[in-house]
Amino acid sequence: MQIDELVTRAEAVLFASGEPMDTARMVEVLETQYEDVEKIIAALNDRLTERKSPLCVLRLGNEYQLTVGRDYAPIVKTALETKRNTALSPAAMEVLTIIAYNQPVTKGFVESVRGVDSSSTVNSLVEKGLLAEAGRLDLPGRPIAYKTTSTFLRCFQLSSLNELPEIPNRSEQINIDEIIGATDGE
């Protein structure tokens, strides 16, 4: 099959899906090879750019999604009368950070890191689609493990978790004694 036809099919499939599509599923649907999917998506993005289309294909980990480009997002939100998303609380950001860097983890793990009950925050993030269940651990009580989702990647404009910033080394962090010592000398 010609590359132009594969690009056209990929555009049709991604448009109709409306949701992120796994690379393996695209291989199956397009009847192509795994290594060709990235080339097909790159060609599709080139085609969309040439047409000055408001659309683009985002890579979200091992998935692809046809979306509206950043420049057109405000007008689409207005047209759909989408309520402005509320900002995440500091607690929610903290929970997301813990799970993103350590996933899959249980609520108990999150609570031990934070030192406070985090059940409602985890549940809220699951409802928002930023976290999902990642199965149950083979431990007493069979606790549920959680992981981030493709929605998390999209919201934070990441292609994969590998793009998360590095966690600073403890030696690079400032501690309270250094701050107090600096103010004592003034």
CATH of the domain at 133: 1.10.10.10
| Long-range contact set of residues 93-98: C-beta below 8 Å, sequence gap at least 24 | 95/121, 95/122, 95/125, 96/125, 96/130, 96/131, 96/148, 96/152
| Long-range contact set of residues 68-73: C-beta below 8 Å, sequence gap at least 24 | none
**In whole angstroms, what separates CA 118 from the centre of its chain?**
21
Q: 80-89, 115-124, 154-163: which has the minimum mean pLDDT?
A: 80-89
Alpha-carbon gap, residue 181 to 186, rounded angstroms: 9
Is 83's pLDDT higher than 60?
no
Residue type for 25, please?
Answer: R
Q: What is the pLDDT of residue 135?
A: 92
Alpha-carbon gap, residue 121 to 149, rounded angstroms: 16
Q: Do strands 144-148 and 21-22 pair parallel, antiparallel, or not at all (unpaired)?
A: unpaired
| Domain final residue, candidates 26, 51, 79 | 79
Range of the domain at 103: 90-167
pTM of this prediction? Answer: 0.56
Q: Is residue 186 part of a domain?
A: no
Are both 154 and 94 inside the same structural domain? yes
Max Cα distance, the chain (Å): 74
Are both 14 and 75 inside the same structural domain? yes
Are both 162 and 95 inside the same structural domain? yes
Q: Is residue 156 part of a domain?
A: yes
Are both 64 and 113 inside the same structural domain? no
| Domain final residue, candidates 56, 79, 102 | 79
Which whole number is the average pLDDT over 138-146? 90
**pLDDT tens per residue, range 17-50:** 988 999 999 999 999 999 999 999 999 999 999 9
